Amino acid sequence: MAHVKIDAHQHFWHPETGGDYGWLSGPFERLNRRFDPHDLQPSLAINGISGTVLVQTWNDLDETWEFIRIAATTDFVAGVVGWVDLTDRQVGDTLAALKSSPEGRWLVGIRHLIQTEADPNWLLRDDARRGLKAVEQAGLVYDLVPNLPQLPSCVQTTRDFAGLRFVLDHISKPEIRNREFKAWSGLMRGFKAERDHVYCKLSGMVTEANWATWTPADLKPYVLEALDVFGAERCMFGSDWPVCLVAASYDRVHDALMECVQELSQAECDRIFGGTAIECYGLADLVSVSAKGEVHA
């Protein structure tokens, strides 16, 4: 198919209806409002983005159901990374119910906010591993969203589940503002041997940099390191919208990554800005579906 640009990581949320959005305070207070498809659509059009992957915002099954319904009625949402309770013995049944629903085709992956768990080895627990096996059996992708303390358990998990596709979100959130590189890089290199089934989102970087002063040059060493570990064929663009808005507009996030990869070939850039996400999440059929319905606010 012709090159299609994909934003592999964006969110919607409705904090006024409840949910675990206590973090939308302090420096994030400006984001404490509804964000819906109509808010994002203009930025996608300006940057030539044809489809997105809508990603969970908190550990709640109802949100997953809501997101696949949004995907079914929003032209640009090509897939959903939702949440299920990995530790629930009935997680396989939950996944089956989601996938067999009328909107189930839009569920392409699962994520749990492991960085909020007190145990940095939460993924290595027997009950969590049982859930990962259910995700694998359901043919879904599993998104990893660690900070540095959880990164060793993520590397071990990818080694133990060679048949499960993983995506490392936000290049594991290195502290770019403090130029912390060595420890992060050392742990990231643990994925190199597993990269045939592990992918990486070049996303979430601007909020880890100095919000007021960052430039693409601050991001570039981290982007290049991720590319060295995973290769362009395993890396993908993600805006992390609307979280990114505290540090940059959608356009600036997009253009910063373009600047960071400008020395790559066109084929490699096409992978980063679309091809990798389509392959990893199995979006080929979904992004080819046009006019799914009206975009609902």
Sheet holding 51-55, edge to edge: 6-10, 51-55, 77-82, 107-111, 141-144, 166-168, 198-202, 235-237
**Nearest-5° Cα angle at 258, 144 to 228:** 50
Average pLDDT of span 41-68: 97
Q: How far apart are CA 159 and CA 163, in angstroms?
A: 10
Short-list 214, 228, 229, CA closest to 151:
229
Q: How far apart are the C-alpha atoms of 284 and 286, rounded to whole Å? A: 6
pLDDT in tens, 255-267: 999 999 999 999 9
CB 81 within 8 A of CB 56: yes
Query: pLDDT averaged over the chain?
Result: 94
Rounded to a whole number of angstroms, the CA Rg of the chain reads: 18
Nearest CA-CA partner of 53 in 32, 34, 28, 81: 81
* pLDDT value for 1: 46
Q: Considering only residues 294 and 170, tell me which one the structure prediction assigns the higher pLDDT.
A: 170
The predicted pLDDT at position 292 comes to 54
User: How do the domains of the chain map onto residue ranges?
Assistant: 6-287
Q: Using alpha carbons, list the distances in angstroms from residue 177 to 173, 205, 228, 244, 267.
A: 11, 10, 21, 15, 31
Query: Is the domain covering 6-287 a CATH 3.20.20.140 domain?
Result: yes
Structure confidence by residue, pLDDT tens digits, 183-216: 999 999 999 987 789 999 999 999 999 999 999 9
Report the share of the chain in percent with pLDDT over 90.
Answer: 90
- Pairing between strand 198-202 and 51-55? unpaired
Predicted local confidence at residue 288, as pLDDT = 66
Q: How confident is the model at residue 17 (pLDDT cuts 50, 70, 90)?
A: confident
